Structure 1
Amino acid sequence: MEEGRRLNIKDNIDIIVSFAVVGIVLMLIIPMPSALLDVFIAVNISISVIIILVAMFTTEVLQFSVFPTLLLITTLFRVGLNISSTRLILIDGYAGDIINTFGSLVVGGNYVVGIVIFLIIIVVQFIVITSGSGRVAEVAARFTLDAMPGKQMTIDADLNSGLITEEEAKKKRRDLQLEADFFGSMDGASKFVKGDAISSIVIVLINSLGGIIIGVLMKNLSAADAAKTYIQLTIGDGLVSQVPALLISISTGIIVTRSKNGENLGNSLIGQLTGFPKVLGMAAGVLLAMSMIPGFPHVVFIVLAAALGGAAYMLYKDDIGKQIMAVENENKKNIETQSKEPENVMKLISVEPMDVEIGYGLIPLADENSGGDLFQRIASVRRQCAIEMGIVVQPIRIRDNLQLDTNEYIFKIRGTVVQKGQLMPNMLLCMDPSGENSDMPGIKTVEPTFGLPAIWVNKDQREEAEIKGLTVVDPVTVMITHLTETVKAHSYELLGRQEVKDIVDSMKEKYSAVVEELIPDLMTIGELQKVLQNLLKEKISIKDMVTIMESLADNSRTTKDTEVLTEYVRMALARTICNGLIDENNSIRVVTLSPDIENLIASNIQKSVKGSFPAIDPDNTTKILKSIRNIIDSVNFNDGQPVILVSPKIRPAFRKLTEMVFPNVSIISLNEVPNEIEIRTEGVVNL
């Protein structure tokens, strides 16, 4: 029976709340006995205490999303109590034990003191807490509404990439909408508390003046007796109303100023204030110094300094203990992992797409506590490659390797070393391509990225080097530049099927038509990967995926040869290819092939799984390469980028012929030069 009765009350709680709200409205009209008023005042104080405690223990605003509505109801409840108490004060000169006790304790025989205390509470609530909370709620509402589109796009992206399920996405969208509604409601609900503070001042004035007039004119009291009775009751009534209102105002400020850190107020407050033991130790030193000032209470400051110093020492020992425990747990975890043969073997055979290993002397460059920014700079490399080349580089790992020289670093792609270099961590690298200022004192070296002559100098020599016109860079910039060029040069190796699938999935959001037409009906992910790798091998950006996929969709119906499809894509990307080769006059300087070489290569092209190759004799190959070298050394190309213009038929084969000796020479065909670009022939390769 008892369980059924509890269940019945729970099922009808909405009806009970509805009657309670209607009852609050009736309080404005129907007179209330003083005993019942005491009960309701006690209930009001209890509700305000519960509200501030709930606000302190919530970890996110949506756990107390009913707060704006509750703010309205509690404000209305206090107004009802004020009217009921005013009626009793003016009619009977008595409004219950709670109001009388509050008035007696605060006034204590001095009405001026009571009025001042009441006004201070009102000022603190109205000007300090309520005004600040209202402003914070207004700004939070604006920022939340402005951030909604971006957050919704993030949820959609997580859903499309499979990081969250459909149900989780629905919940995140619902929580996002509720959060926006909450801060929007709080922006208006904070005005309730402000209005309540103003009404309290008005009610106190009315009660005081009205009580004195009624006491003197109707109850034949002297002015002093009337003031004693009614001002005491009025102040007690105001305090009984404003103390809960102050608690709710504080709750409002706590709710709207909370950050999303997953902890309640108490844990966040103590955890963050005691998060830096050295700060407490420094504060203890300051207090100890203040205790020596003549006239100050020395004992108080010494006790506080001792307390803070002891707390700092205990927290420091606790931090050391946690660090030791963390190391022990990590070692224990490693031992347990090593004891499990299957997991250990899987870790041994797995390789990262790309990682950076540094010697012991370069560790400070990656230590954020020492001011190192290597991690952030490497993250910028991934962004730069995405912007310039259109590739998605997986996170690049950084490891220390004690087997390397102290200042050495190496770059690995899938576990294999592809580049290496050395840095001087506490020095600067000066480069002078002209070689005219090579007398700069320092350690001579070679810049690892472009092979330029360079000098390591001390940091205090920067100004001297810059005056001489040298290019001065810090060690991290040297490594990051080397890493960026390495990623670009090996981008085709880093573009795996998973990366291609990620690119295709991101394309589906805006260009679903071209993706659905091409994949998987006309091409597989693997075939698309081969085309993109062919483009990246020749340092052509694949950022314009729409044009690439539309070209493949148009031509993959007639051929499945990825080399031929790559040539079609190159024609579609003509402007992209020529953009970095033209000068300010919209012209391009090129070297062409003699008809003999064109015919020789065209008549000896052989197909293989790796593409087209020119099967010509070694003597002719040597003559062709030697002629290319002579012309490149004598021709002044745009931005120093050599370009050889060939016929479309032999372009892939000629590229295979030259890529081993001249990897940085651009081999383009006539079909890849837009009509509006002028072609200037600066030389001819011949036999």
Structure 2
Amino acid sequence: MADLSIMRPVERLGGMFLPFGILAVVAMMVLPLPVFLLDMFFVFNILLSLLILMVAMHTYRPLDFSSFPSLLLIATVLRLALNVASTRIVLSEGHTGSGAAGRVIEAFGEFVIAGNFAVGIFVFAILVIINLVVITKGAGRVSEVSARFTLDAMPGKQMAIDADLNAGILSQDEAKARRADVAEEADFYGAMDGASKFVKGDAVAGILILVINIVGGIIIGASQHGMALIDASQAYVLLSVGDGLVAQIPSLLLSIATAIIVTRVSSTNDMATHIGKQVNLSRAWVPVAAVMMILGLVPGMPNMLFIVAALAAGGAAFLAHRADGANAEEDDATVEMGEVPATNAPGTITADEVTDYSPISIQIGYGLISMIEDGNGGPLVSRITSIRREVSQAMGFVVPGVRIRDDLTMGSNQYRIRIGQTIVAEDTCYPDRKLALPGGLSKMKLKGVDVKDPSFGIDAVWIQPHQQSEAEADDHVVVEPESVIATHLSQMLYKHASQLLGPDDVQVLLSRLEKVSPTLVDAVVPKLVPLHSLTAVLRHLLADRIPIGDMRRILEGLSELAGRNMAPAEMAESLRPQLAALLIQQLVPLNQPLPLVTLEPELEQLLLRSRQQQGPDAPLMLENGLAETMLTALARVSEDMAAQGRQPFVIVSPLLRRAFSRFVSGRGSDAIVLAVNELPDNRRIEVVATLGGGQPAAPMGSSEPVRSE
């Protein structure tokens, strides 16, 4: 708090001073300045240039001094304003003597010229050439190239940030900060490309001002003040060169600062430390010392100077060698003391190991790391991004980011999917192979690793890439390894979507709906249905894969149910007939009949009587043999339909739907259970099987939708 209380008055003072300072600079170009003020401004100009140079040298990365282009513009305008003010005084008062334009200009002129006009002019010319041709031109070229490459790299950097965010490497706030850095970097280098032109123009203006001062001064002194040509030259050359040097030295400092900024590489150290670390190499200093010593022994050379330089280089080599040894010992000590990442340090436990709050994560063995390292995040990351978008659109809410982490304790080709802290799926994937799934016409037995497809449970084979043509010719579907993991993840996201939805996500959905239906949202939440109850209702819907994207219909339905004192599960069940069509249209196109699996009438009546005896909220209880037979038949039907790329629906009585759905899902089945009254009126149906005491019945023809009495 103390720091803030100190900084805020300083910031306010700076905010007030800068506008007045800019106005004062403009006024200096028009209004005559007293000599003592001119001296003060020249000293301030040198101070400002030195400050900018020192700050540039002590930045860790160019963006740490992002205000540099603006400061460069202000300093350049200040220097030009001083040139205009000093030119006015030199031309109007130069005949009075060397002190006419102030002590600063006089001191610089006499110190450099030292009684010889030609020397002064040549020294000034050399400084201008160094500034204009060498430093300014090089810095301008670097700025131009940096701006071009920075702008070209922006899309790739944005994609890398999105990939890291989707993989769970970055949080939302970190990704937002990274995107701001990328945008700021592009703005900075674009501004530097233009700001470097200020420095170049300033150097050219310095040459012209010097020529104008000398020529104009000699003409004015000889014609208006009756001075001899030699006296006029002496007076005006001294003042002009002094004025030019007072301007060129700060200009040279700013040019150096510009070059330092645009050639600076981002680092965790300032410039001096960064350079010192990289040149402090004993293997570089030793040959330097040897060459200098050889030159010192050559006859005719200044032997003593070269020998002293060789000894100095040898001393630097010795110190660098000691530093290398100290760093090696420190690294060894670090390893011995266990100061290594927690995954390699026995007995060391970090908070990251026990407090992973990622809603969705995938752990992979070291053999699968290549799937997330190629290109912009790897093929697996891009597939997971597509899966997240697909599931989010299907279920009606934004699925959280997926964090991918390697785990050395797992098998090389093993992966594991977790929802929160719970492991919901695990299997094996071979990144150097492809998964071949047999079709209905497949006859060949492919060579490879026989497995069960993790997503659909059908027989499959991991084959070599060169076997793909052979497999496809035999009616096999060949799938890339990243697609296998992504599809498996997709199934888990659909199955456990209810665990991914929280009150914050529901509030986001309400906020979006409030923009188009504010009265509906205000009337229902929280007046009729509290937020936590609405969240529970939506979770029950998601547990049965019912999308919640149509929040308007959900809130309208809840407004009708609010006065009936129903539990969230009962409210969700009452909403299903209005929402089930959203699920059906995602799984079966409109022009295709719905594949239905029905129950034998005797079996359905038995289950209904069981429900009446046990109560509406009790779990469904069946004799073990009957349950096993029914579930085996259902699994066989689901597998056959999956091989055809179709999703069957189990149709039961509305009174039985909820209990039967919990019964089959509790025993590992992914079958979708619908009530008869949830079938859309405009869809054709096809009964593909009937579950009972025996095998599934033969497929039946199409008919109209079945309705309950």
TM-score interval, normalised by the smaller of the two chains: 0.5 to 0.7
**Counterparts of 2:129 and 2:446 in 1: how far apart (Å)?**
75
**In the aligned structure 1, how far is the partner of 2:357 from the partner of 2:437?**
39
Cα pair 1:590 1:637 within 8 Å, conserved: no
Distance 2:222 2:281 in 1: 64
1:565 counterpart residue number:
571
Counterpart in 1 of 2:243?
A: 237
Which amino acid is the alignment partner of residue 52 of structure 2? I
In structure 2, how many angstroms separate the alpha carbons of the residues matched to 1:240 and 1:329? 59
CA distance in 2, matches of 1:88, 1:464: 97
Partner of 1:209: 215
- Residue equivalent to 1:501: 503
State the 1:21 CA deviation: 7.2
1:121 to 131, 136, 158: 131
- 2:90–2:239: 8 Å Cα contact kept in structure 1? no
- Taking only the aligned residue pairs, the percentage that are identical comes to 25
Does residue 510 (structure 1) correspond to residue 512 (structure 2)? The answer is yes
Q: 1:453 to 1:196 in 2, by over 3 A?
A: same
How far residue 240 of structure 1 moved from its aligned partner, in angstroms, is 2.0
- 1:221-300 matches, within 5 Å, as 221=228, 230=236, 233-248=239-254, 267-269=269-271
Offset of residue 96 of structure 1: 1.1
The Cα offsets for residues 481-502 of structure 1, whole Å up to 9 and x where unpaired, read as: 434433433344x34xxx5122
**Aligned equivalents of 2:339 and 2:471: distance in 1?**
48
Moved more, 117-126 or 307-316: 307-316
Instruction: Give the number of equivalent residue pairs.
Output: 621
2:438 aligned counterpart, secondary structure: coil
- In structure 2, relative to structure 1, the CA distance for the partners of 1:271 and 1:37 (3 Å cut) is closer
Please give the alpha-carbon distance, in whole angstroms, between the structure 2 residues aligned to 1:349 and 1:382: 24
Alignment correspondent of 1:44: 45
Contact 2:143 2:189 in 1 (8 A): no
Unaligned runs of 5+ in 2: 1-9, 100-104, 155-170, 175-180, 292-297, 299-305, 693-709
**TM-aligned CA distance change 1:122 to 1:50, over 3 Å:** same
SS at match of 1:238: helix
| Contact 1:431 1:452 survives alignment (8 Å) | no
The 1:478–1:135 alpha-carbon spacing in structure 2 relative to 1, beyond 3 Å, is: closer
Pair 339,324 (structure 1): closer, same or farther in 2 beyond 3 Å = closer
Distance 1:207 1:460, change over 3 A: farther
Corresponding position of 1:685: 690
Q: Which residue of 2 aligns with 1:581?
A: 587
- CA distance in 2 between partners of 1:330 and 1:387 (Å): 46
- The amino acid across from 2:334 in the alignment is M
Pair 1:126–1:615, CA change in 2 (3 A):
closer
Secondary structure at the aligned position of 2:119 is classed as coil
3-state DSSP of counterpart to 1:419: strand
In the alignment, the residues of structure 2 paired with residue 162 and residue 483 of structure 1 have an alpha-carbon distance, to the nearest angstrom, of: 22
Residue type at the aligned position of 1:325: T
Equivalent position SS for 2:46: helix
Task: Give the C-alpha shift of residue 203 in structure 1.
Answer: 1.9
Go from structure 1 to structure 2 and tell me whether the alpha carbon gap of 1:90 and 1:555 turns closer, same or farther (over 3 Å shift).
Answer: farther
Q: Which amino acid aligns with 1:210?
A: G
Pick aligned residue for 2:645 from 633, 636, 639? 639
- Distance in structure 1 (CA, Å) of the matches to 2:129 and 2:340: 62
Q: Contact 1:646 / 1:670 at 8 angstroms: preserved in 2?
A: yes
**CA 1:371/1:452 → structure 2, altered by over 3 Å: closer, same or farther?**
farther
Measured at CA, do residues 441 and 367 of structure 1 come closer, stay the same or move farther in structure 2, by a change above 3 Å? Answer: same
In the TM superposition, 1:320-339 aligns within 5 A as 321=330, 325=334, 328=337, 330=339
Q: Cα–Cα, structure 1 residues 205 and 72, in superposed 2: closer, same or farther, change >3 Å?
A: closer
How far did residue 642 of structure 1 move?
0.8
1:400 match: 407
Say which of 97, 107, 114 aligns to 2:107: 97
Report the Cα distance in structure 1 between the residues aligned to 2:84 and 2:237, rounded to whole angstroms: 19
Distance 1:607 1:272, change over 3 A: farther
| Separation in 1, partners of 2:461, 2:276 | 48
- Against the structure 1 CA distance between its residues 211 and 395, is the aligned structure 2 distance closer, same or farther, given a 3 Å change threshold? same
Distance 1:466 1:199 in 2: 74
Q: For the Cα contact (< 8 Å) 1:355–1:411, is it kept in 2? A: yes
What is the distance in 2 between the residues matched to 1:652 and 1:474? 37
Equivalent residue number for residue 154 of structure 1:
none
The answer as to whether partners of 1:27 and 1:80 remain within 8 angstroms in 2 is yes
| Counterpart-to-counterpart distance in 1, 2:582 and 2:276 | 57
Match 1:81 to one of 74, 78, 86: 86
What is the TM-score normalised by the length of structure 2?
Answer: 0.64
Q: 2:267, 2:274 within 8 Å by CA — same for their partners in 1?
A: no
Residue 191 of structure 1, CA deviation: 8.2
Q: Return closer, same or farther for 1:245/1:460 CA change in 2, 3 Å cut-off.
A: farther
Q: Deviations over 1:458-515 (max 9, x none)?
A: 56777887888866666555445434433433344x34xxx51221343354345566
Distance 2:472 2:88 in 1: 80
Q: Could you give the per-residue CA deviations for residues 285-317 of structure 1, whole angstroms, max 9, x where no partner exists?
A: 9x99xx9xxxxxx9999x999989996995696
Per-residue CA deviations over 1:86-107 (Å, capped at 9, x if unaligned) read 4444664665121343456997
Alpha-carbon shift at residue 80 of structure 1 (Å): 2.4
Partner of 2:434: 429
CA RMSD of aligned residues (A): 6.3
Deviation at residue 560 of structure 1 after TM alignment: 1.7
Tell me, in whole angstroms, the C-alpha distance in 2 between the residues paired with 1:550 and 1:90. Answer: 93
Q: Equivalents in 1 of 2:375, 2:314: separation in Å? A: 30
d(CA) in 2 for partners of 1:436, 1:282: 68
556 and 118 in structure 1: CA distance in 2 versus 1, 3 angstrom threshold: same
Q: Tell me the secondary structure at the aligned position of residue 420 of structure 1.
A: strand
The one-letter code matched in structure 2 to 1:679 is R
Question: Deviations along 1:256-288, whole A, 9 cap, x unmatched?
Answer: 9999x897xxx244676688x7x9989969x99
Q: Distance in 1 between matches of 2:374 and 2:591?
A: 51
Distance between the aligned counterparts of 2:242 and 2:612, measured in 1? Answer: 103
Cα-to-partner distance string for 1:39-80 (whole Å, 9 max, x where unaligned): 653343223212332455568458889947666555534542
SS for the counterpart of 2:684 is strand
Aligned counterparts of 1:511 and 1:673: Cα–Cα separation in 2: 27
Mark the CA change 1:306 to 1:487 in structure 2 (over 3 Å): closer, same or farther: farther
Contact 2:456–2:642 (CA under 8 A) maintained in structure 1: no
- TM-score (norm: length of structure 1): 0.65
Deviation at 1:208, TM superposition (A): 3.0
What SS class does the counterpart of residue 564 from structure 1 fall into? Answer: helix
Is 1:53 the counterpart of 2:63? The answer is no
Cα gap change, 1:577 to 1:612, in 2 (>3 Å) = farther
Question: What is the match of residue 5 of structure 1?
Answer: none
Match of 2:701 in 1: none
Query: Could you say if the C-alpha distance between residues 369 and 282 of structure 1 is closer, same or farther in structure 2, counting changes exceeding 3 Å?
Result: farther
